[in-house]
Amino acid sequence: MQDRLQALKEEALLKIEQASDLKALQDVKVSYLGKKGPITEVLKGMGKLSPEERPVVGAYANEVRDAITSALESKVAELEQAVIEEKLKKESIDVTLPGRPVRQGNAHPLTAVIEEIEDLFLTMGFTVAEGPEVETDYYNFEALNLPKDHPARDMQDSFFITEDILLRTQTSPVQARTMEKHHGRGPVKIISPGKVYRRDDDDATHSHQFMQIEGLVVEENVRLSDLKGVLETFAKKMFGEDRKIRLRPSFFPFTEPSVEMDISCFKCGGKGCSICKHTGWIEILGAGMVHPNVLEMAGFDSKKYTGFAFGMGPERIAMLKYGIDDIRHFYTNDLRFLKQFKKA
C-alpha cells in the first residue's frame, strides 16, 4: 500500500511540475486529492489493515497528501507570478514619449474686459453687486427719478413683459435695490456689471442686448471731486498712466449735476487721429452726483448723505482698447475672432 502511495506521489508531483497553466493544476488537484481520487480510496481502505499497520499507512497517506498540496500551492503561485510578469512586460509604458498638449481656451474678450474693470474697482474698495434682469417698472424707472412720461419708458425703447415688468434697460435697478437694503445708512460702495436690454435694430454699433457696468458711492460728504479722482484712477489704469481726463456737463435723470468723461486719445496722445475723430478726446462714460430724489426714494436722508454714480458700456471700452469695429463680433461666436484674445 505504501508503494502504491509512493507511486501516486511521484506521478502527481511530475504532473504538477509539467503543468503549464492553472487549469492543468486544477485538474491534478481534482484527480489526486478529490473525493473520488486514489488517495481518498487508500484512506477508505485502511479499515482492512491490521491495527499495527494502520497508523503507519495513515501517516504516510497524510504526508503524501500534504506534499501534493504544497507542490500545488507553490506551482499556482509560480504560474500567477508568471502571468503578472507577462502582463507587466506587455503593458509597460514609454515615459520618454512626448506628452499630448492640452488645448487651452481663453476668456471671451468682453468677459476679460469686465473682469479687468471689476478688479480695478475692487482694489479701490468697491464690491460687486448683482440683481435680476427681469425688473419691475419701479426699480428700473421710478426709483431712478424717471417720471411716468419719460421717453425711456416708451414701448419703442424697452422690452415690456407686462405693463409693470420689463427686461432691465440699465443696471441702475441693482443699485437702487442695494441702497434700499442699507436702510438709510452708509457707506454704499458698489459696482454692478450685467446684461441690459433695449429695443434696437442691431448694427455695427447697436445691439438689443449688451453689457453695462455702473458704480455707486453713497456716504456723508461725498463730492464731485471724489468722483473725479475715482474716474481718473480708472482711466489711467485702463488706458495708460499718461491719460488725461476731462468732464463735460451732461444730463441724466438720476444724477444732478451730470457729466460725461472723456480721456485723452491713447492712440495719438491728443494730436487728432481717426480713433478720436480728430478731436484728441474719446468719450468713455457718463456720471454725476446722485439726484436727491433717488437717495430719498431708497431711504437715505439727502441732507446728510450725498453720492456719486457712473455708468459705462464694456463693449465700447473693449472696442476702443482692441480696435474692434463691430459690436456684433461679441455675440456671433466666430472662433477666428474669439481666439485672437488669448493671453501670451
CB of 96 to ligand 2NL, least distance (A): 57
Q: Which of 72, 290, 318, 319 binds ligand 2NL (CB under 6 A)?
A: 290
> In the set 310, 314, 317, 330, which binds ligand 2NL (CB under 6 A)?
310
Residue 256 marked as a ligand binder: yes
Site for ligand 2NL in 136-195 (CB under 6 A): 144, 172, 175-176
Are 212 and 140 in contact, with CB atoms under 8 Å apart?
A: no
What's the closest the beta carbon of residue 296 comes to ligand 2NL, in angstroms?
A: 12
Q: In angstroms, rounded to a whole number, what is the distance separating the alpha carbons of residues 181 and 216?
A: 14
Strands 188-197 and 127-128, bridge-based pairing = parallel
| Separation of alpha carbons 62 and 83, rounded Å | 31
Which CA distances in Å does 64 have to 13, 38, 40? 10, 11, 11
- The nearest distance, CB 190 to ligand 2NL, in angstroms, is 10
Residue 197 as a binder of ligand 2NL (CB under 6 A): the answer is: no
Q: Are 164 and 148 spatial neighbours (Cβ–Cβ below 8 Å)?
A: no
Q: How far is the CB of 215 from ligand 2NL (least distance, A)?
A: 8
Among 114, 117, 216, 318, binds ligand 2NL (CB under 6 A): 216
One character per residue 237-276, x = contact with ligand 2NL (rule: CB under 6 A): ---------------x-xx---------------------
**Closest CB to ligand 2NL among residues 212, 306:** 212
Task: Tell me the per-residue interface mask from 63 to 82 with ligand 2NL, x by CB under 6 A, - otherwise.
Answer: --------------------
Residues in CB range of 41: below 8 A, 6 or more apart: none
Q: Give the residue at shortest CB distance from ligand 2NL.
A: 311
Stretch that binds ligand 2NL, among 39-47, 83-91, 105-113, 288-296 (CB under 6 A): 288-296
Please identify, among the stretches 50-58, 200-208, 239-247, 306-314, the one whose residues bind ligand 2NL according to the rule CB under 6 A: 306-314
Q: Tell me the number of residues near ligand 2NL by CB under 6 A.
A: 21
At residue 175, what is the residue type? Q
- The closest alpha carbon to 37, from 69, 78, 77, belongs to 69
Q: How do beta strands 209-220 and 188-197 pair?
A: antiparallel
Binding site for ligand 2NL (CB under 6 A): 144, 172, 175-176, 212, 214, 216, 252, 254-255, 285-288, 290, 294, 309-313
